[in-house]
Amino acid sequence: MPQTDAQAAGARPTETQHVMDLERAYLLQNYARYPLVLHRGRGCYVYDTDGNRYLDLITGIGVNALGHAHPRIVKVIRDQAGLLLHSSNLYYHEYQGRLAERLARMSGLARTFFCNSGTEGIEGAMKMMRSHGRRISEQKHEIVALDNSFHGRTFGALSITGQPKYHHDFEPLLPGARFVPLNDITALEQVVCERTAGIVIEWIQGEGGINLVSSEFAHRTRALADQYDALLLFDETQCGVGRTGRYFGYQLIEPAILPDVMVTAKPLACGIPLGCIVANERAATSIGPGMHGSTFGGNVLACRVALEFADILDELLPHITQVGAYFRMKLDEMKKHFHFIRDVRGVGLMLGMDLEFSGKQIVLDAMKEGLLINATHDTVLRFLPPYIITEELVDRAITTLRRVLRNARPPQA
């Protein structure tokens, strides 16, 4: 058995050091974690193993939508744990159909497939596109996606992720992925053609730095998908299920627009892994018996928790819009005081602050001050707070952030 660093040095490690050493000794070294060991959470706060408290504005990357230990979610999990956790998809259970019905009402689409994560949802949706295209012509297999997008880490999702840094080590990837710059209608028109089986859009690019698709661009994707009989997919993994103040981000586009397929995951079951593909009837016919499946997908516990969350979300949507607008206003105000803030972007409770330098040190400094945020696309501070955050807690976060930015030492050009 390998020794941890602390053991090798003959020292008795602190609990935090012990956890970090053990991971360094036994885990694949693929994550660059922050030096923080989380132990428990309540409401908008999480606590580390030493009992220090942090205001959580990143929520496990947009997952803990109701914060931590929400009493209704805790109750449902306790109840269901004593009844049945998992049944597999060999049998029916009481909650998949109910949740799918709910998702149909929320999304305006028709049929759901349940999986466990965003990347799995994208994989299934890509199979839909391929199968849809193949029924028309063997040449119809291309998928058009956006530069700077992020759709997940599995091979299919990676192939349509428009960030070469994620591709390098794994090439060759799936053939037929074509990329266009965000909101570049001319480029889109040049790439979409008879060979296009699907077009994939993240309505708000999350990992890419909180960039919004314009209504005009979104409408053009719809028109081109119709013209070439391709499926239009909106990836709502990060911006879906209430985060923007609507059930799904695309519901903010005016005039209204519907994709053929939508994928979502992160907050869907408030921390229990659950993802889904929701499709209209036309897209749904591309997957027949035996063509796709999952052992865990749509498990009893996850579906029941998601139903409870959906009930709570119905009442929370106006609050998300209101507190999101307040947070955005406070960030815009900060931009006036710090010359190195390039831009503030986002909607609802999916917000980003683009700096002229890497945000990494700011994230670490904020953490020391009891505030959890993260940086994406190197320079963008990302805020994905719980939907239950209040204006008072936003003020607290802003005060901390202001202090951290005042002490920031931007690298000299």
Pick the piece of the chain touching ligand PLP (CB under 6 A) from 148-156, 287-295, 317-325, 341-349.
148-156
Binding-site member from 60, 156, 206, 385 for ligand PLP (CB under 6 A): 206
Residue 359 interacts with ligand PLP (CB under 6 A): yes or no: no
> Which residues partner with 266 through β-bridges?
none
Binding-site member from 152, 267, 348, 359 for ligand PLP (CB under 6 A): 152
Name the residue among 330, 327, 343, 346 with its Cα closest to residue 206. Answer: 346
DSSP state of 97: H
Tell me how far apart the alpha carbons of residues 348 and 325 are, in angstroms, rounded to a whole number.
Answer: 6
Under 8 Å between Cβ of 253 and 357: no
For residue 28, the one-letter residue type is L
Q: Rounded to an integer, what is the distance from CA 363 to the centroid of its chain?
A: 19
Binding-site member from 123, 207, 260, 354 for ligand PLP (CB under 6 A): 207
Q: Residue 80 or residue 238: which is nearer to ligand PLP going by CB?
A: 238
Residue 118 interacts with ligand PLP (CB under 6 A): yes or no: yes
Token digits of residue 351: 């917000």
Name the residue among 126, 128, 127, 122 with its Cα closest to residue 150. Answer: 122
Binding-site member from 237, 299, 376, 379 for ligand PLP (CB under 6 A): 237
Q: Residue 133 or residue 240: which is nearer to ligand PLP going by CB?
A: 240
Q: Residue 21 or residue 259: which is nearer to ligand PLP going by CB?
A: 259
Pick the piece of the chain touching ligand PLP (CB under 6 A) from 2-10, 76-84, 117-125, 170-178.
117-125
For residue 90, the one-letter residue type is L
Nearest residue to ligand PLP, by Cβ distance, number only: 118
Tell me how far apart the alpha carbons of residues 50 and 252 are, in angstroms, rounded to a whole number.
Answer: 42
Binding-site member from 93, 132, 151, 330 for ligand PLP (CB under 6 A): 151
Residue 244 interacts with ligand PLP (CB under 6 A): yes or no: no
> Which residues partner with 277 through β-bridges?
113, 263
Binding-site member from 59, 107, 117, 131 for ligand PLP (CB under 6 A): 117
Binding-site member from 21, 56, 142, 235 for ligand PLP (CB under 6 A): 235
Strands annotated E in 34-124: 38-42, 45-48, 53-56, 111-115
Shortest CB 374 distance to ligand PLP, Å? 11
Pick the piece of the chain touching ligand PLP (CB under 6 A) from 127-135, 234-242, 293-301, 404-412.
234-242
Shortest CB 303 distance to ligand PLP, Å? 17
Under 8 Å between Cβ of 45 and 54: yes
Tell me how far apart the alpha carbons of residues 248 and 263 are, in angstroms, rounded to a whole number.
Answer: 10
Pick the piece of the chain touching ligand PLP (CB under 6 A) from 150-158, 163-171, 190-198, 226-234.
150-158
Binding-site member from 129, 199, 265, 303 for ligand PLP (CB under 6 A): 265
Tell me how far apart the alpha carbons of residues 92 and 363 are, in angstroms, rounded to a whole number.
Answer: 45
Under 8 Å between Cβ of 397 and 384: no
Name the residue among 96, 347, 330, 325 with its Cα closest to residue 242. Answer: 347
Phi, psi of 47 (to 5 degrees): -130, 140
Question: Would you give the binding string for ligand PLP spanning residues 21-60, x where CB under 6 A is met?
Answer: ----------------------------------------
Residues of this chain that interact with ligand PLP (CB under 6 A) are 117-119, 122, 150-152, 202, 206-207, 235, 237-238, 265
